[in-house]
Amino acid sequence: MFQSLFGMFCASDPAFFPVHGLLPLRKDIKQVTLPPGSYSFLTCRTGFASHLLRHKKFDSFFSLRGTDSALGLSFLGTCTGDFSGMEKAIVRPFKRPNALCRLICFPWAGGGTSHFAQWGKLFSSSIEVSVVRLPGRESRVKEPFAKDMTAVINEITGALLKDLQEKPFAFFGHSFGAYISYAVAVHLKEKHGLEPIHLFLSGAYAPHSEAFLLMGKVNEVKDEDILEHVKFLGGTPSEFLKNEDIRKHLILTVREDVSILQTYCFEEAERKTIFSCDVTCFDGSEETVHDAEAWLNITRGDTSIYSLPGGHFYLLDPSNEIFLIKHITKCIENAAL
């Protein structure tokens, strides 16, 4: 049960780490010196947990030129300055002001923005992609983690409300992100009379299912068990897991994210709020059954379930990603007509 339950939160997400002193200097790695207060990012396309660690006493980091295929790392560049409002909580790297619809993506526990940010260039010009960035990671690494769902909902709503009032929008959430997207959607409907034109829920147990109720026990899991599960999931360079700072921050980030769900009453939300939009659920065919059918009770609209080849992180497979992009596009364009 631990593996199937914990797996719904943990992910092979692009991971950002300053790697001063962590990796051996190789021919495709050079040392760079950055201005104080700036960050050098490395992204691991198949690594676990997207978050940034910054060693305060160093302003020099190792960065990659091109791609290191052995570690699956590529250099993203630097991020400087302070962010506020939209720029802090929402990432929108490919702006499309003439798009017909906005797609808001919600990453998994411990996750950052880089995977879904790439979706911005994969969708057609009719869809503009934005990605939610929670505190405690990436450019927000110095901020304390969100302590409850209310804080998360209020920040996301505050950053997006004007945009969501301007044109149609859809939500895509994977695992932990599915619950956050659902809670934000409930808030928008109850408080602002807004509703997504489509809700895409991926790799997540329905909130009222028996498996979901067991999530309160995740924080009781020992650190060593979490690390073993990270290895079980695969995709994380061993160099990262050998570093004590990264291990500690990885565990902390996942625990803090998951604890947010324990502060929200999904049963009450489901009783009070029924959507009229269409809902689509996605799952990996090799993963523990998520009782996706139970999600379908949250709406009076059309519903569908798709099982794609792979495990919990089926969406990282290129062929599955192509399917998702095409299917989501079709759903959104049909709904927007």
pLDDT above 80: residue 226: no
pLDDT at 214: 63
pLDDT score, position 49: 36
Catalytic residue among 50, 63, 139, 175: 175
Model confidence at 72, in pLDDT bands (50, 70, 90)?
A: very low
Q: What value does the mean pLDDT of the chain take? A: 75
Read off the pLDDT band of 73 (50, 70, 90). very low
Sequence-separated (6 or more) residues with CB below 8 Å from residue 15: 42, 43, 44, 47, 48, 49, 50, 51, 112, 236, 240
Domain 86-215+259-336 has CATH 3.40.50.1220: no
Higher pLDDT, 42 or 70: 42
Annotated catalytic residue 327: no
What residues contact residue 285 under an 8 Å CB cut-off, 6+ apart?
307, 308, 309, 310, 314
- Give the closest residue to 301 by CA, choosing from 280, 282, 270, 279: 279
pLDDT of residue 79: 38
Higher pLDDT, 266 or 164: 164
d(CA 174, CA 226): 20
Q: Name residue, tokens 């590529």.
A: 74
Q: Which range has the top average pLDDT, 222-236, 243-257, 318-332?
A: 318-332
Is 259 a known active-site residue?
no
pLDDT at position 146 over 90: yes
Question: In this predicted model, what pLDDT tens digit does every residue of 84-108 receive, in sequence order?
Answer: 456 799 999 999 999 999 999 999 8
Percent of the chain topping pLDDT 70: 68
Domain ranges (residues) in the chain? 86-215+259-336
Average pLDDT for 303-315? 91
Q: Residue 22: pLDDT above 60?
A: no
Q: Which of 5-9, 114-118, 214-218, 274-278 has the lowest mean pLDDT?
A: 5-9
**Is it the case that residue 201 has pLDDT exceeding 80?**
yes
Residue 2: is its pLDDT beyond 90?
no
Mean pLDDT across 228-239: 65
Q: Which of 16-25, 125-134, 228-237 has the lowest mean pLDDT?
A: 16-25
Q: How far apart are CA 150 and CA 168, in angstroms?
A: 24
Residue 300 has pLDDT above 60, yes or no: yes
How far apart CA 198 and CA 330 sit, in angstroms, is 11
pLDDT confidence of residue 161: 97
